[in-house]
Chain A
């Protein structure tokens, strides 16, 4: 048995916890360091501050709308939520500019907006922009 090898006399009856605590401390420090490094985010372009520039929109741009009633629309055409991914794929596979504008109704929940951006990024969109507030008001 392991006890017999000691031969120095007294039997040590308690477990030596020092190595375990060493290991735990190191683990703790590792987690403390990696925690701030693990932050994830989605970059969204903010419209430029001067409003005059943003009122004219080039016809080629694509706007994903989240309507107040819970629906989704790409450039005014309603799209069911489960087809968003394929629709965006179909549009952006041929386009060199992977830019999408997000326009959401005031009553939509932030999580929905993030989800829509998430789907768009998964479907190949590289740059997402928020639309200015003036554009969201009904004409």
Chain B
């Protein structure tokens, strides 16, 4: 007969779907949601201001991030702070901190400056020396280059 060796085994129809890639994707999605959910649950909602001349500030492990959301509520490292406790919290963090006195500052762009000033005042009395105002780049480099080209034409 024409049936050669081996071909019978390979030609057998596989009836079940290969679910391994699907499970991979599901697991990654699960991990993403596990990371993102606490941030959403904290209720921090703010649009960051935009700027052009910025310094890269990669996120590190041991840093202090102060957020002020649209409603003017304070968030320290992602957790909402009760009214009036910001100074004490910052003082206890920065008095024990030896590496740097940088406070990362993430505030909504429509906030009144009075609110920001209040935070600055509290921070400087609590031992903060530098505030890094987290800002979103106005236009990303690639798109900016495209735009410049279009404008030249």
Contact = CB atoms under 8 A, between A and B. Distances in A.
Interface of A: 7-10, 17-18, 21, 24-25, 28, 32, 36-49, 66, 104-115, 117-118, 121-122, 130, 132-133, 136
A114 B134 CA distance: 10
Given A21-B24, A46-B124, A118 B53 contact: yes
B34 interface: no
Nearest to A17: B21
Contacts of A45: 129-130
A134 to B, nearest CB: 9
A25 B21 CA distance: 10
A36 B56 CA distance: 11
Q: 6 shortest A-B CB distances, which residue pairs?
A: A9-B11, A106-B114, A40-B54, A36-B59, A121-B53, A111-B109
B25 interface: yes
Given A40-B134, A109-B113, A110-B116, A122 B52 contact: yes
B124 A47 contact: yes
Contact of A105 (B53, B59, B113, B133): B113
Contacts of A46: 103, 120, 123-124, 128-131
Given A36-B58, A42-B132, A49 B127 contact: yes
B12 interface: yes
Main secondary structure of the interface of B (DSSP, over half): mixed
Contacts of A107: 112-114
A18 B21 contact: yes
Chain A CB within 10 Å — which of B8, B103, B111, B128 has the most? B111
Nearest to B118: A133
A117 B121 CA distance: 19
Given A39-B59, A41-B54, A8 B11 contact: yes
A115 B116 CA distance: 15
Interface in B92-129: 102-104, 107-117, 120-121, 123-125, 127-129
Contacts of A9: 7-8, 10-11
Contact of B58 (A39, A114, A130): A39
B64 to A, nearest CB: 13
B113 A10 contact: no
23 contacts: A7-B7, A9-B11, A36-B58, A40-B136, A41-B104, A41-B132, A41-B133, A43-B55, A44-B131, A46-B120, A106-B113, A106-B114, A108-B112, A108-B113, A109-B110, A110-B108, A110-B111, A114-B49, A114-B135, A118-B51, A118-B52, A118-B54, A122-B53
A105 to B, nearest CB: 7
Contacts of B115: 110
